[in-house]
Amino acid sequence: MAVAGSGWGLAQLAEALGSSEQALRLIVSILMGYPFALFQRYFLFQKETYLIHLYNVFTGLSIAYFNFGMQFFHSLLCVLIQFLILRLMGRTITAVFTTFFFQMVKLSFLLHRFVERSPLFSFALPSSNCGWKSGHRSKPAGRISLNNTNNDFFQTYLMAGYYFTATEHYDIKWTMPHCVLTLKLIGLAIDYYDGGKDPEFLTPEQRRFAVRGVPTLLEVSGFSYFYGAFMVGPQFSMTDYQKLARCEMTDVQGQRPNSFVPALKRLSLGLLFLVTYTLSSLYVSDEYLISDDYMEKPFWFRCGYILIWGKIILYKYVTCWLVTEGVCILVGLGYNGKDQSGKPLWDACANMKVWLYETTPLFTGTIASFNINTNAWVARYIFKRLKFLGNKLLSQALALFFLAIWHGLHSGYLVCFQMELLIVIVERQVINLVRDSPPLSTLASITALRPIFYILQQANHWMFMGYSLVPFCLFTWDKWMKVYRSIYFFGHVLFLTLLLVLPYIRRLIVPRKEKLKKAE
């Protein structure tokens, strides 16, 4: 519940803008990161680290209270419990198993109650995905990895929040930033666990992020409530935060980072997407997808609308991530070393590769350019730690299942990620088929035809990207099923058919010698 806005005039302003007060508070909160970052740059640079931690705690809690009132205590409770886990249980296997057992009992109870109430999952466990305004995100049940299980409390706490606050719409409530906090605390626990291992048994990536010392309560709190990432991310490690507090995240040691211009560029780009989304949303909306007017339109129109809607609907996420990335760059957290020519890089907190996102004709290209910071987190802490399974596809499926549950308990989230996995598998098969088939590779290399192929690929790409996003954005079984029925489950039929047929097509048009070369 947000703080009453009558004194601030936010309710009236939101109404005038055609927005909700909660959405306006969110935008104000992430934009406030810029004056906060300027204050830290000019008044706290090279000051004592405890002052920086206190500043981050104060600003972060202020943002939490401004948006959610006294419900900020949810995040505060989890931060305190995380600190106690680090201090009292340490880096021991006992701590891992104790927390894992305790939280899995609670999580199983919550999942059981949800399954009983969902018609979709009378035969399967629930899962979900992410949202810009969503109050629905969480971590997965039943983690086997010893590195991850000691944070099932935060997964379960978040899932309990989803369960008791869930609605049929996007909601900006305390569970929205809590999903960001959940990943942050889980990552901290894993890195702390790695910090107790012999560096020889860690990968270079794990050595980089391993937390060797024991963080103080103030340090953990400052890390958790950093104003530039509290509401919508991005994710960053404790080691990077510690460097920021020591004023080491700069391109010129001993001086403030020269990051004003890069930060301004990301802010400007974010505001451009905000304007684009705001104007486009006047004509394209979630509500129209389930309206009677939409259902009465011809099939080609329904498909075309999904294509355009899928492109526009993601701009609200892009807006938030670009604006918050600018805050991180401005304060120095976005510093990522220098390139080969000595030019500083400011993409450590990047969540978007805008040019790739706008130009790629591939689903895998969109995945590589969208929410990349969170995807990197999942790759580092989930996917790579499932290597013991010996099956890359299974590890990928489990990582996507993790993402689904992390985002919430609505059935549409799981359906979205299932569809994403199916499309990616088929796309890779098609790419390999074109590459290995002489006739297809020759056809694809004709320069005059490339623009035609590109347009067709883009249309296919965004049509089925939008198709996958339908359950993601509509959440509930009755809504997304209504839309899918209206287009006859076109995406599922097409990609399941291709999944079954492509191996036989490959046998027909790929020469045997090409197959032997690939096998070698």
Catalytic residue positions, numbered: 371, 407
CA distances from 40 to 62, 228, 247, 350, 513 (A): 16, 12, 11, 21, 63
DSSP letter, residue 135:
S
CA dist., res. 389 & res. 345, Å (int): 36
Any idea which residue has 């709190």 for tokens?
Answer: 221
Q: Count CA atoms closer than 13 A to 347's CA, side-chain side.
A: 12
φ and ψ of 344, to 5 deg: -65, 145
Q: How far apart are the first and last CA of the chain?
A: 61
The alpha carbon dihedral of 228, 230, 231, 232 has a sign of: positive
Name the nearest CA neighbour of 347 among 336, 362, 358: 336
Name the nearest CA neighbour of 490 among 306, 362, 360: 306
CA dist., res. 480 & res. 470, Å (int): 6
CA dist., res. 13 & res. 22, Å (int): 12
SS3 341: coil
**DSSP letters of 440-483?**
HHHHHT-GGGHHHHHHHHHHHHHHHHHHHHHHHHH-SHHHHHHH
CB 302 within 8 A of CB 313: no
- Written as six digits, the tokens of 481 are 């099923």
CA distances from 18 to 21, 167, 311, 351, 519 (A): 10, 21, 21, 28, 59
CB 191 within 8 A of CB 211: yes
Name the nearest CA neighbour of 227 among 38, 382, 381, 453: 38
CA dist., res. 85 & res. 90, Å (int): 7
- Angle between the 93-116 and 152-165 helix axes, to the nearest 10 degrees? 20
